[in-house]
């Protein structure tokens, strides 16, 4: 499955192009075994007749006919510098997890993998976030009541990768044919491009967060302004009723003040939580890049000392 995901990205992923596919497998005791996968085909806007659901059903039916695991257990997606915490991913994972409780999403990071270690993580939506998504109420009050923050939106599931003996043999053969002639190249500190790109993406998300904060502050000012208007209206009504009472007239009829002053709609806060989660991911990437470079620096110094 891992090799299929990597192959899918190498064939169809270009730059920040995201590739996706379906995970197949079964539940055994207390673990989910992912034993097969297949990619979503690339299609353009001209392919208006393409039906992804129908395509998945036909693929799983074909796999069942040849006795290959065909049970749907989630999906996978590549990521670009860790930029996977999006509303699209949240909505897709909610749909999968709502229909198939054990569903997971595998996130494959080709950029980290190219640095020398496989980057593959599995995520699920937490029960709290599932409840909020079912209600479709992303107002500040609903999220506060559910105690939802970016730290408890997703839960990471530990992954154990098991290879068959044939796969182990193939990996040994590939290692012998590796294009890296000088293994010392792996100790290169030339990761400034990755670090710079992560910093640029981090700054973009911080800008989005500041714009979201401006929108929320505007909402609070509008609420405060409306409260003042309601208070002034109530005072005028009260004075007018006192004057009418002094003239022996009936007081003005009661009115629903909420209909006269319709409260402003609060901005949804889910986007802010996703942006905060993305900022956290970029910060973790930068920390990892710095830690890797520090480790390479010590290793290169140790090699130089050993050679001397």
Q: Determine the pLDDT at residue 193.
A: 74
Q: How far apart are CA 179 and CA 191, in angstroms?
A: 19
Taking only the tens place, the pLDDT of each residue in 22-68 is 999 988 888 999 998 988 877 665 566 667 777 777 887 887 777 77
The packing angle between helices 270-307 and 87-99, to 10°, is 100
DSSP state of 45: T
The CB-based long-range contact list for 33-40 (8 Å cut-off, 24+ gap) reads 34/1, 34/73, 34/74, 34/104, 34/106, 35/1, 35/69, 36/1, 36/63, 36/68, 36/69, 36/70, 37/1, 37/4, 37/5, 37/76, 38/4, 38/63, 39/4, 39/8, 39/12
Cα of 305 vs its chain's centroid, Å? 44
Instruction: Compare 130 and 261 and report the one with higher pLDDT.
Output: 130
Class of domain 1-188: alpha beta
Q: Where are the domains of the chain?
A: 1-188, 214-259
Q: How far apart are CA 115 and CA 241, in angstroms?
A: 77
Q: How far apart are CA 186 and CA 201, in angstroms?
A: 25
Q: Place 104 in a pLDDT band, splitting at 50, 70 and 90.
A: very high
Side-chain half-sphere of 160: how many Cα atoms within 13 Å? 4
Span of 23-37, 92-106, 161-175 with lowest mean pLDDT:
161-175
Question: Is residue 70 over pLDDT 80?
Answer: no
DSSP state of 151: G
The phi and psi torsions of 249 (rounded to 5 degrees) equal: -95, 160
């Amino acid at each position: 499955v891992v090799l299929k995901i990597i192959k899918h990205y190498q064939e169809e992923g270009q730059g920040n192009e995201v590739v996706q596919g379906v995970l197949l497998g079964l539940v055994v005791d207390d673990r989910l075994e992912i034993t097969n996968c297949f990619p979503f085909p690339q299609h353009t806007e001209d392919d208006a007749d393409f039906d992804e659901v129908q395509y998945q059903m036909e693929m799983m039916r074909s796999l069942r006919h040849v006795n290959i695991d065909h049970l749907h257990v989630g999906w996978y997606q590549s990521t670009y510098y860790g930029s996977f915490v999006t509303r699209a991913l949240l909505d897709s994972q909610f749909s999968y997890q709502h229909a198939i409780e054990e569903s997971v999403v595998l996130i494959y990071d080709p950029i980290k993998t190219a640095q020398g270690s496989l980057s593959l993580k599995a995520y699920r939506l937490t029960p709290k976030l599932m409840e909020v998504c079912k209600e479709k109420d992303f107002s500040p009050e609903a999220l506060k009541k559910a105690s939802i923050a970016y730290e408890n939106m997703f839960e990471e599931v530990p992954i154990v990768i098991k290879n068959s003996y044939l796969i182990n043999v193939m990996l040994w053969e590939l290692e012998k044919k590796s294009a890296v002639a000088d293994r010392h190249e792996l100790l290169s500190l030339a990761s400034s491009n990755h670090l710079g790109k992560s910093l640029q993406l981090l700054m973009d998300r911080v800008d989005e967060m500041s714009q979201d904060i401006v929108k929320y502050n505007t909402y609070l000012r509008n609420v405060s302004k409306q409260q003042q208007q309601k208070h002034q209206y109530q005072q005028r009504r009260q004075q007018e009723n006192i004057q009418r009472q002094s003239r022996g007239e009936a007081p003005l009829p009661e009115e629903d003040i909420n209909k006269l002053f319709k409260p402003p709609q609060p901005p949804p806060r889910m986007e802010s939580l996703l942006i905060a989660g993305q900022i956290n991911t970029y910060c973790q990437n930068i920390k990892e890049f710095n830690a890797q470079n520090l480790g390479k620096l010590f290793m290169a110094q140790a090699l130089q000392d050993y050679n001397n």
